[in-house]
């Protein structure tokens, strides 16, 4: 699962900056006008924040889309609201089977660049939040799906995305140990080569199952942080990502 992330403005622009194109960056600045130029040190998907993502339609120009996908076929606003709270994540194994995702899995895939993500570790009946990030000083690229929904009552267009998850590997097998779940989960992390494949390949269910994505499980490190929920939550501040040791875990 992946319901909490850190994504700073500069992180979201990393892919675009690879082009080393001043004119392109000027276009992007206009595209992101009004977007918080700091970004999020910690944000929950349940607040449905707008995050810059990259799609096959704009491979080097990030577009702002809400976290929480609403499939194009949602008939009314009540259905749409219910769906976007259930589509923060999309299981890699079933994206061609679930009605909310199968159209997007075919031709509306996207990349989400983050500084890291948060997950809770269970220990003796309590949960402890952890921040997971790359061992190298670079962003993590997550696989995603997106879709566009039109509210027929207001005419408003909603663009949303979902983060694709896969079976937990490496350190995530130890961290994501929720006893209510049958297996550990983690976001699907893409290498540089896999980024291009995810955006551009013509996938179907059979072809996707043949690909062994390298989830970069050996390139991750993690540490515990202060509470992400409740009154003791620090909110969207740099300290939310700082290491915090719990005596019972030492």
Any idea where the domains of the chain sit in the sequence? 4-249
**pLDDT tens digits, 30-44:** 888 878 788 999 999
Are the beta carbons of 141 and 189 closer than 8 angstroms? yes
* Summary mean pLDDT of the chain: 92
The pLDDT, as a whole number, for residue 110 is 97
pLDDT digits (tens, 9 = 90+) for 93-136: 999 999 999 999 999 999 999 999 999 999 999 999 999 999 99
Provide the token pair at 118: 């948060």
Rounded to whole angstroms, the Cα distance separating 77 from 179 reads 34
Collapsed DSSP state (helix, strand, coil) of residue 138? coil
Contact 189, 92 (CB under 8 A): no
Residue 103: exposed, middle, or buried by beta-carbon count in 10 A (0-12, 13-18, 19+)? Answer: middle
Topology given in CATH for the domain delimited by 4-249: hypothetical protein yedk fold (3.90.1680)
The answer to whether the CB of 243 falls within 8 A of the CB of 224 is yes
pLDDT in tens, 166-192: 999 889 999 999 999 999 999 999 988
Compute the distance between CA of residue 10 and CA of residue 139 in angstroms, rounded to an integer.
10
User: Structure pTM?
Assistant: 0.95
């Amino acid at each position: 699962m992946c319901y909490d992330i850190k994504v700073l403005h500069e992180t979201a622009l990393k892919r675009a900056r690879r082009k080393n194109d001043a004119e392109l960056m000027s276009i992007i600045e206009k595209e992101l006008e009004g977007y918080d130029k700091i970004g999020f040190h910690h944000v929950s998907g349940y607040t449905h924040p707008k995050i810059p993502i990259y799609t096959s339609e704009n491979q080097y120009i990030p577009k702002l889309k809400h976290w929480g996908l609403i499939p194009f076929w949602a008939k009314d606003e009540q259905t749409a609201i219910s769906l976007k709270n259930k589509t923060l994540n999309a299981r890699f194994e079933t994206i061609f089977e679930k009605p909310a995702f199968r159209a997007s899995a075919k031709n509306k895939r996207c990349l989400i660049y983050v500084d890291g993500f948060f997950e809770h570790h269970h220990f003796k009946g309590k949960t402890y939040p952890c921040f997971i990030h790359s061992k190298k000083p670079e962003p993590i690229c997550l696989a995603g799906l997106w879709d566009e929904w039109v509210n027929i009552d207001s005419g408003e267009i909603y663009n949303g995305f979902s983060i694709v998850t896969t079976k937990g590997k490496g350190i995530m097998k130890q961290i994501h140990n929720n006893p209510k779940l049958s297996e550990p989960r983690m976001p699907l992390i893409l290498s540089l080569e896999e980024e291009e494949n995810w955006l551009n390949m013509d996938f179907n269910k059979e072809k996707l199952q043949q690909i062994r994505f390298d989830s970069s499980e050996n390139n991750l490190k993690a540490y515990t942080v202060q509470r992400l929920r409740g009154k003791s939550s620090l909110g969207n501040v740099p300290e939310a990502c700082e290491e915090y040791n719990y005596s019972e875990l030492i």
